[in-house]
Structure 1
Amino acid sequence: MDSLGLFILLIPTFFQQTAASSLEEITWTYKGLVGQSEWSEYFPDCGGTSQSPVDVITTQTKYDPSLIPVTPLGYSQYGNQPFTLFNNGHTAVIKLPEWMGLGGLPWLFSAVQLHLHWGPGGLGHVGSEHTINGLSADAELHVVHYNSELYPNMSTAMAQRDGLAVLGILIVTGEETNPAFNSILNYLSRIRHADQRAFIPAFDVQSLLPSDLGRYYRYNGSLTTPPCHQSAIWTLFHERVQISKAQLLKLETILYSSKAEEPDQMLLQDNYRVTQPLNHRVIFASFSAESGRELSSGEVTAVVIGVMCGCVGLAVIIRFIVKTIRFFKLLHLETVVVNSSTSSWDILHNNRPAPMPRAKEPEKAKEKKQDLPLNLTSEDERKEELSPSLQTEP
């Protein structure tokens, strides 16, 4: 009876272990068999309401002044022990020593591993898991930690609501090479196929992070790969990290998701999960969009170029105005010179001034003119008087 009771008690445990081992044996993919749309059928948590990644709509984030900058602990003190680089068929993983940790969170978190997500290989600017305002980056780096203050190991913590803390770093491309990422990319040829691993020189993990660790988005989410446990506190940095186009191309084209002995070799590409619904979750921001803030180097460059273009445009406008004013002044002067060298009578013949009226004669002149006929009359009379006498004389 006791043996039967013990057997009955062990049956649930047996089925749980069998189910767990069967889940581990399921080979999931991003776009093939057991692809993203089918994950929830085999891994129930993948259909939960707090899944990652998400699209961060910056206008809908909520500013939380209590969010302090995250603090990498021991990231730059990597010691002499090499790191292990591993191709798990889904991504390139580097196992990190547990004495590396993360501060600035409610609990102390110890480092577990870091890995990358990327796109199709030079066919567009997609590849990151998280997006901001609907825009994807070229790739994304994740640094995973577990809550070592509350739980003994990663396996236990990953199933707990507050068990994990993940840093998300968006990666974009530019012209300059990023030496920090060469600490990973230069050794990918050693793990080209799934299940291959290699020891690589240890390096400063903090050099992979953006310089500004104080501006980020925070939300509760999940692992972005099966089993998709909803146990992650996500910190997505606002500042992007830049690598060269050649570095991104190497990441996108050098690894295979298939094993070395498999006849059909498949490139490891497009290993990113599409964004998931927020489902009324709130994304908090450690900075206020309205408040004055420090600009990133890229933003500073854009502002400087904008100011320079504005100054050049303003100078062109001022120069045009000055030239226009000078032109009209010269035109006016030429018109005045032409007018002064040409007779006004020839130009304005219809506007000749009327002849001036004669001035009135003085009164004395009038009197003299009146006396003149009178005097002439008296002289004639005298001649008439004398003529008869002259006629009577012999």
Structure 2
Amino acid sequence: MLPSPSPSLSLPVSLSHLLLITPSIIIHFCVWARRANMDSLGLFILLMLQCFQWTAAHAAEDITWTYKGMVGQTEWSEYFLDCGGTSQSPVDVVTTQTKYDPSLIPLTPLGYDQHGNSPFTLYNNGHTAVIDLPEWMGIGGLPWFFTAVQLHLHWGSGGPSHGGSEHTINGQSADAELHVVHYNSELYPNMSTAMTKRDGLAVLGILIVTGEETNPAFNNVLNYLSRIRHADQKAYIPAFDIKSLLPSDLGRYYRYNGSLTTPPCYQSVIWSVFHERVQISKAQLLRMETLLYSSKSEEPDRMLLQDNYRATQPLNHRVVFASFSAESGRELSSGEVTAIVIGVMCGCVGLAVIVRFIVKTIRIKEPEKAKEIKQDTALNSTAAGEKKEEPSLSLQTDP
């Protein structure tokens, strides 16, 4: 998430960097120390502290980080201290351990569909494909107003069901992930300042899965990847509705405090990972995984840009909140939906058969019962007649 520009060197911090301190820095400290009436020992200590601080900062800027290799993600914390922090991203969201927070209202994209006539800038920074977003776009539903900065993608290399997303749900990876990055423009003047503050950034995480149908919205990006195949290449593409890339349900999401998922890994991000996945086709995923290179066009050895996702990081006692309860948030699988539909249909057919059987049985029994009643009536009439005749016969036979 939010990759930094690709630097030119890959040297670790060493003693040689101390020689890069400019005379202006030394003069500045000498003047400051003299005004403060500090002794030579205090000056020396302050100067050395500043040396190491300055050296570490500038050396980190000169490091070329990768996802795998000499400065791969397992070594990031050696060169970028925040990458070893306790509030890192991405994380695995265990749904049974999330906490429902009714105050989390649906997120509202603002200006996402007001793209105007100006084209978007799409570029390959050696780590991912990025689109710069205009400043009139933002996101509502957060404690502050956040202005949109850019969006980018993360993916794998093995096709569907082989991973590629950064966040996982219950240990399950999606095939890719989209990040839409915003900065807190209500509190901070720009992205550079905000990204170092704890409440400086807000990022939307959209998990991407594959299916049979093509997603037209993602073609607004994927159709132009061939124009930026190599690192540092840029292209202008037609503007489009950014909201079309998001899931339809913006009210169900997971919220936690985390970090950038790439160096310098500043722990300044309010994450909102949507529960609903977005679907693209297998062909679209293949283009994402195979079209771009992490190497520059002038480099003889081309390196495919693949597996540009960071492994999940420990929560370290952080709480992941959910904007929905477990009951309302449970999403049925296609198999479960099919089973329910078939069950309902079978139930309806069975009920119809039972009702018909009952009606038919009643219709059969009604004539039989009427016949029995008629026969009983006839027998009763005969018996009554016989009883009336018996006294008259007895009278006739008496002497």
- Give the TM-score band, short-chain normalised: 0.7 to 0.9
CA distance 1:171–1:199, change in 2 (3 Å)? same
Given the alignment of the two structures, is residue 5 of structure 1 paired with residue 42 of structure 2, yes or no? Answer: no
Given the alignment of the two structures, is residue 195 of structure 1 paired with residue 232 of structure 2, yes or no? Answer: yes
SS of equivalent to 1:173: strand
- Offset, 1:5: 2.5
- Offset, 1:122: 1.7
Contact 1:85–1:92 (CA<8 Å) still a contact in 2? yes
Aligned to 2:343: 310
- Counterpart-to-counterpart distance in 1, 2:122 and 2:61: 21
Contact 1:218–1:284 (CA<8 Å) still a contact in 2? yes
Which amino acid letter does the alignment assign opposite residue 268 of structure 1? L
Aligned to 1:75: 112
| Number of residue equivalences | 317
- Counterpart-to-counterpart distance in 1, 2:30 and 2:57: 25
TM-score if structure 1 supplies the norm length?
A: 0.75
Aligned to 1:254: 291
1:147-200 residue CA offsets vs partner (Å, 9 max, x unmatched): 111111111111111000000000000111101000000000000011111111
- Counterpart-to-counterpart distance in 2, 1:290 and 1:177: 31
Matches within 5 A, 1:87-126: 87-122=124-159, 124-126=161-163
2:306 pairs, out of 257, 265, 269, with 269
Contact 1:71–1:103 (CA<8 Å) still a contact in 2? yes
CA distance 1:318–1:204, change in 2 (3 Å)? closer
SS of equivalent to 2:152: strand
* Backbone CA RMSD of aligned residues: 2.6
SS of equivalent to 1:149: coil
Task: Look at both structures and tell me which one has the larger radius of gyration over its CA atoms.
Answer: 1
CA distance 1:311–1:68, change in 2 (3 Å)? closer
Contact 2:29–2:47 (CA<8 Å) still a contact in 1? no
Matches within 5 A, 1:1-394: 4-6=30-32, 16-122=53-159, 124-291=161-328, 299=332, 302=335, 304-311=337-344
Which amino acid letter does the alignment assign opposite residue 342 of structure 2? C
- Counterpart-to-counterpart distance in 2, 1:15 and 1:74: 44
Which amino acid letter does the alignment assign opposite residue 287 of structure 2? K
- Counterpart-to-counterpart distance in 2, 1:79 and 1:22: 41
1:312-340 residue CA offsets vs partner (Å, 9 max, x unmatched): 66699999x9xxxxxxxxxxxxxxxxxxx
CA distance 1:213–1:82, change in 2 (3 Å)? same
- Offset, 1:264: 1.0
TM-score if structure 2 supplies the norm length?
A: 0.74
- Counterpart-to-counterpart distance in 1, 2:351 and 2:77: 65
- Offset, 1:252: 0.3
1:191-219 residue CA offsets vs partner (Å, 9 max, x unmatched): 00111111111111010000000000000
- Offset, 1:139: 0.2
1:210-258 residue CA offsets vs partner (Å, 9 max, x unmatched): 0000000000000000000000000000000000000000000000011
Any gaps of 5 or more consecutive residues in structure 2?
1-26, 34-42, 355-399
Which amino acid letter does the alignment assign opposite residue 305 of structure 1? T
- Offset, 1:16: 4.2
1:106-134 residue CA offsets vs partner (Å, 9 max, x unmatched): 11111111000000132743000000000
- Counterpart-to-counterpart distance in 2, 1:147 and 1:20: 24
- Counterpart-to-counterpart distance in 2, 1:14 and 1:148: 33
Which amino acid letter does the alignment assign opposite residue 256 of structure 2? Y
- Counterpart-to-counterpart distance in 2, 1:225 and 1:103: 25
SS of equivalent to 2:182: strand
- Give percent identity, aligned residues only: 76
- Offset, 1:306: 1.4
Contact 1:141–1:169 (CA<8 Å) still a contact in 2? yes
Which amino acid letter does the alignment assign opposite residue 149 of structure 1? E
Contact 1:121–1:253 (CA<8 Å) still a contact in 2? no
Contact 2:122–2:235 (CA<8 Å) still a contact in 1? yes
Structure 1 window deviating more from structure 2 (122-131 vs 160-169): it is 122-131
- Counterpart-to-counterpart distance in 2, 1:316 and 1:97: 57
- Offset, 1:145: 0.5
- Counterpart-to-counterpart distance in 1, 2:52 and 2:237: 40
- Offset, 1:32: 1.2
Contact 1:93–1:113 (CA<8 Å) still a contact in 2? yes
CA distance 1:13–1:99, change in 2 (3 Å)? farther
Any gaps of 5 or more consecutive residues in structure 1?
322-394
Aligned to 2:397: none
CA distance 1:306–1:39, change in 2 (3 Å)? same
Which amino acid letter does the alignment assign opposite residue 311 of structure 2? V
